[in-house]
Amino acid sequence: MTLDLLAQPLKLPCGATLPNRLCKAAMTEGLADGALRATERHVRLYRQWSAGGCGLLLTGNVQVDHRCLERPANVAIDGNAGLDELRAYARAGTQHGTHLWMQIAHAGRQSPRYVTGSPLAPSPVQLQVLNNFAMPRAATEEDILDVIRRFANVARIARETGFTGVQVHSAHGYLLSSFLSPVTNQRTDAWGGSLENRARIVIESVRAVRAAVGADFPVSVKLNSDDFRKGGFSNEDCLRVVEWLNAEQLDLLEISGGTYEQPKLLGAEGASSTAAAPRESTRQREAYFIDYAERIRAVAKMPMMVTGGFRSRAAMEEALSGACDMIGIGRPLVSDPACAKKLLARQVDTLPAHERVMRQGVTHDGSPVKAYLRAAAEISWYYIQIFRLADGLPPDPRVGTSWTRLMYFATEIAAAWRLRRAKKRGAFNSKLSAPPA
């Protein structure tokens, strides 16, 4: 009998075992209440995904600072109570024997204007996309140390409330990722300049998280294989950072790539992309980052996961044969929350893909703005489907992106208004919060 690679368990360095090689990759949910606490909608959503077949579920990015969010309805852990809600969330995501890991993040300069007029960044380099992001303030030394403490604090709370692991988000242009890039990190102190200095906040955050959760609890890192931007964090830089991470007791390294300006994680890119034309083998294997993963695999000593573009059993099995140990899938699980179970049961060989609807109404000429608009059109469609799942409704593949973009924008503005009201009520009382400079 042929060995079913997807169904094989994976024992992690910390001693925990994942039931199979499929992971629901992190997708921002936008389901928190006005005080950024988890809700019953998270419970309904993750109950479905726990039953859906993946051995590992990664949450959408849980923010460490309520002042700097990726979206105004992110879950955040920042002196806003909500521990019982987190416990209910964790129970829902683990009730079928699945692992549920909390992805921990700080949005940095990629926090939109309707969330903050003063985002935090390594240097005051503004994100130039549709004027939707304010000029960030450069982090002080105390800000940086505060961020590290926040990552550790959220990791500790994740373990205490029943999550079975954590992932430190150091990709996609968010705060830790922006420290890695010479384009966004123009500092001349101990946190900038050389790659070793630029990577310091990532390494120190991982160390603080490990100290907070102990040696027997899974700790993962999500890292860009490349920023795909001239002068940015390169694949060569990535290889060196992975070598340093080898010493940090990691249980899983997830490989991704791109930023808001270069949304390669969604298969799009702007004119300043440094990405080479993919090899024919890469096109056949579907995954956006598989060639990069093969290079990283040569130096990484921890298990690896690749996320982005997987749709067929053949592509997944080929990747598991050498490039990685886990397969991350995201959008297909929105179209069909049970598709991983069907794949494991060999009822299907290909996961659902609705990317064709996202091409409607948005042409793409290679500019960063058009790349961002195209990416926004795609993800708004999936956001609305996530809302439907969270409300107990089935996905609706018939809806087009014109309507979903409008609905997404309306829900974002409504969530921002609820957040402002919660702040006025004093919903956040974090002892870790450092006042803005």
pLDDT at 1 over 50: no
Query: Mean pLDDT, to the nearest integer, of 350-377?
Result: 61
Q: So what's the pLDDT on residue 367? A: 62
Structure tokens at 220: 């993962």
Query: Mean pLDDT, to the nearest integer, of 384-404?
Result: 92
* DSSP letter, residue 30: -
Summarize pLDDT for 205-238 with one digit per residue, the tens: 999 999 999 999 999 999 999 888 889 999 999 9
What whole-number distance in Å separates Cα of residue 390 and Cα of residue 42? 6
Query: Mean pLDDT, to the nearest integer, of 369-379?
Result: 70
Q: So what's the pLDDT on residue 363? A: 46
Query: Mean pLDDT, to the nearest integer, of 135-160?
Result: 98
Closest to 264 in 3D by CA, of 282, 251, 280: 282
Q: So what's the pLDDT on residue 401? A: 82
Summarize pLDDT for 51-74 with one digit per residue, the tens: 999 999 999 999 999 999 999 999
What whole-number distance in Å separates Cα of residue 158 and Cα of residue 146? 18
Q: Count of residues for the chain?
A: 437
Summarize pLDDT for 240-258 with one digit per residue, the tens: 999 999 999 999 999 988 8
Summarize pLDDT for 78-87 with one digit per residue, the tens: 999 999 999 9
Amino acid at 200: R
pLDDT band at 377 (very low <50, low <70, confident <90, very high): confident
Report the share of the chain in percent with pLDDT over 90.
77
Query: Mean pLDDT, to the nearest integer, of 166-186?
Result: 97
Query: Mean pLDDT, to the nearest integer, of 121-144?
Result: 94
